[in-house]
């Protein structure tokens, strides 16, 4: 395995310079500055097509909804809408972003364990295709806010833990999502009695960054005792490789596991919904940084101009990455790659071999398409990075870099 196995699909070495979407990363750094998120448009489109192709080949009646919490960025997710994916949102804010991206409201699904009146009201007003009922309070709100026929699914907690980081496990009995299996029949009966609601089926989700796919079958089996329905949403969560040495299932593996679970335990004629997020966008974005300082002592600390303001994955989930010095042909050195934030925990990668870093070098971190933009923040007054979309040698700004004025724009002084 090489770095090209985790770099965007269009990545290439051209005359000793790394390119993404036909654009040299060094040129992007010079033109747009750093830090910056760089998007491989062609690779993103190919991933969307792979999802539709792999599921279509196994179960024609499948809706693939992008889990937009992984990347709520309208200029980028517009590409997914153009390719025919639906969208799943977890708030009125994510709904607004999805609509701006051009997703058909009928192909949008609303989630959320604590939906407000605003969340549900905006979804009903927009005409979203499905609202997932997470508990009895959702039914109360829908009864008030959905006077016409609103399609719903009931989210059931299957008591099937996802084999993943504890913060990304959504299927354990202790999880805050959905209703317990033993409580589901009563809530299903209540939903069926509300004139404004059309109960279509069941929903289940067991976790994110799943590298073991056996849980989908166990979750489907847990639903089987609740009766037969026309729609089953088996969630998302396919894990991906962040480093060349990581092993991860393919989209084909995921399709085989979820479709197999539907056919074996539920109903092979039912409509299937899946909600991939990380695996759709993760590989198609890299983060580009500049080295600000290098300190050699007990450890070699290489500090870049970003960090936990644009990538909280290492700090929240212990996620490991494979950073490297851009276009450098030098001997390696073991380093701590750290950010510029005033926090000892602002470490992007520990004990990583980097080509003897120097101030002014550029560092690339692959596989930052999922949750890095979502969780970006203004810690220490950091200005959130731009999103640069690259395709066929053309680079365009999808999201501009924040300005100093942006940091104060909501302040009432």
Residue whose structure tokens are 């925990």: 345
Is position 342 annotated as part of the catalytic site?
Answer: yes
DSSP 208: S
Instruction: Give the domain ranges of the chain.
Output: 3-40+282-408, 42-281
Strand partners, 365: 287
Cα–Cα distance, 365 to 347 (Å, whole number): 13
**Mean pLDDT of the region 219-235:** 95
Over residues 75-85, the pLDDT tens digits come to: 999 999 999 99
Answer for the pair 100, 403: CB distance below 8 angstroms, yes or no.
no
pLDDT of residue 146: 85
State the Cα angle at 42 between 41 and 47, rounded to 5°.
100
Cα–Cα distance, 222 to 234 (Å, whole number): 12
Cα–Cα distance, 64 to 56 (Å, whole number): 10
Number of Cβ atoms within 10 Å of the Cβ of 26: 15
Answer for the pair 328, 395: CB distance below 8 angstroms, yes or no.
no
**Neighbour-count burial for 347-365, b at 16+ CB within 10 Å, e otherwise:** bbbeebebbebeeebbbbb
Cα–Cα distance, 238 to 157 (Å, whole number): 18
Q: What pTM was estimated for this model as a whole?
A: 0.96
pLDDT of residue 26: 98
Q: Would you say residue 1 has pLDDT above 80? A: no
pLDDT of residue 136: 96
Classify residue 231 as left (phi > 0), alpha (psi -120 to 50) or beta: beta
Over residues 329-349, the pLDDT tens digits come to: 999 999 999 999 999 999 999
Cα–Cα distance, 116 to 254 (Å, whole number): 33
Phi and psi, residue 99, nearest 5°: -65, -40
Which runs of E-coded beta strand occur in 41-149? Answer: 62-67, 86-89, 108-110, 130-133
Q: Which residues contact 351 (CB under 8 A, 6 or more apart)?
A: 334, 335, 336
Class of domain 3-40+282-408: mainly beta
Which runs of E-coded beta strand occur in 204-342? Answer: 231-233, 271-274, 285-296, 300-304, 324-325, 332-338
Active-site pick, 73, 335, 342, 372: 342
Over residues 307-322, the pLDDT tens digits come to: 999 999 999 999 999 9
Over residues 20-64, the pLDDT tens digits come to: 999 999 999 999 999 999 999 999 999 999 999 999 999 999 999
State the Cα angle at 130 between 126 and 134, rounded to 5°.
115
Cα–Cα distance, 48 to 65 (Å, whole number): 10
Over residues 361-412, the pLDDT tens digits come to: 999 999 999 999 999 999 999 999 999 999 999 999 999 999 999 999 999 9
Answer for the pair 157, 178: CB distance below 8 angstroms, yes or no.
yes
Cα–Cα distance, 410 to 150 (Å, whole number): 36
Cα–Cα distance, 20 to 42 (Å, whole number): 10
Q: Which residues contact 237 (CB under 8 A, 6 or more apart)?
A: 162, 164, 168, 170, 205, 206, 207, 208, 209, 210, 276, 278
pLDDT of residue 159: 81
Over residues 196-215, the pLDDT tens digits come to: 999 999 999 988 999 999 99
Alpha carbon 85 to its chain's center: 14
Answer for the pair 343, 376: CB distance below 8 angstroms, yes or no.
no
Model confidence at 69, pLDDT cuts 50, 70, 90, reads: very high
Model confidence at 101, pLDDT cuts 50, 70, 90, reads: very high
Residue whose structure tokens are 């509300």: 194
Phi and psi, residue 377, nearest 5°: -155, 175
Class of domain 42-281: alpha beta
Over residues 115-142, the pLDDT tens digits come to: 999 999 999 999 999 999 999 999 999 9
Number of Cβ atoms within 10 Å of the Cβ of 406: 13
pLDDT of residue 167: 79
Determine if the peptide bond prior to 270 is cis (ω within 30°).
no
């Amino acid at each position: 395995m090489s770095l090209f196995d985790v770099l965007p699909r269009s990545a290439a070495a051209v005359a000793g310079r790394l390119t993404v979407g036909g654009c040299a990363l060094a040129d992007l750094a010079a033109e747009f500055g750093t830090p910056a998120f760089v998007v491989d448009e062609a690779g993103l489109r190919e991933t969307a097509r792979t999802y539709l192709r792999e599921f279509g080949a196994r179960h024609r009646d499948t809706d693939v909804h992008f889990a937009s919490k992984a990347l709520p960025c309208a200029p980028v997710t517009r590409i997914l809408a153009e390719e025919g994916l639906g969208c799943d949102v977890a708030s009125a804010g994510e709904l607004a972003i999805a609509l701006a991206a051009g997703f058909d409201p009928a192909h949008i699904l609303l989630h959320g364990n604590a939906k407000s009146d605003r969340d549900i009201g905006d979804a009903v007003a927009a005409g979203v295709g499905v609202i997932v009922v997470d508990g009895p309070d959702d039914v109360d709100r829908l009864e008030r806010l959905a006077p016409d026929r609103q399609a719903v699914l009931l989210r059931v907690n299957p008591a099937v833990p996802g084999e993943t980081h504890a913060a990304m496990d959504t299927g354990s009995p202790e999880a805050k999502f959905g209703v317990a299996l033993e409580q589901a029949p009563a809530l299903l009966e209540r939903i069926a009695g509300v004139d404004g609601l059309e109960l279509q089926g069941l929903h289940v989700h067991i976790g994110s960054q799943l590298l073991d796919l056996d849980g989908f079958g166990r979750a489907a089996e847990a639903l089987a005792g609740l009766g037969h329905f026309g729609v089953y949403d088996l969630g998302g969560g396919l894990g991906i490789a962040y480093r060349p040495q990581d092993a991860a299932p393919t989209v084909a593996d995921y399709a085989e596991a979820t479709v197999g679970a539907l056919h074996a335990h539920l109903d092979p004629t039912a409509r299937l919904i899946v909600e991939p997020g990380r695996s759709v966008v993760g590989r198609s974005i890299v983060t580009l940084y500049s080295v600000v300082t290098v300190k050699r002592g007990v450890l070699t600390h290489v500090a870049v101009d970003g960090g936990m303001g644009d990538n909280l994955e290492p700090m929240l989930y212990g996620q490991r990455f494979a950073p490297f010095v851009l276009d450098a042909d030098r001997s390696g050195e073991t380093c701590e790659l750290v950010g510029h934030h005033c926090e000892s925990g602002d470490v992007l990668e520990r004990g990583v071999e980097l080509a003897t870093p120097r101030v002014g070098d550029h560092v690339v971190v692959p596989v930052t398409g999922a949750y890095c933009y979502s969780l970006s923040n203004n810690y220490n007054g950091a200005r959130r990075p731009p999103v640069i979309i690259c395709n066929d040698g053309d680079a365009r700004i999808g999201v501009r870099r924040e300005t100093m004025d942006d940091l104060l724009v909501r302040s009432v002084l």
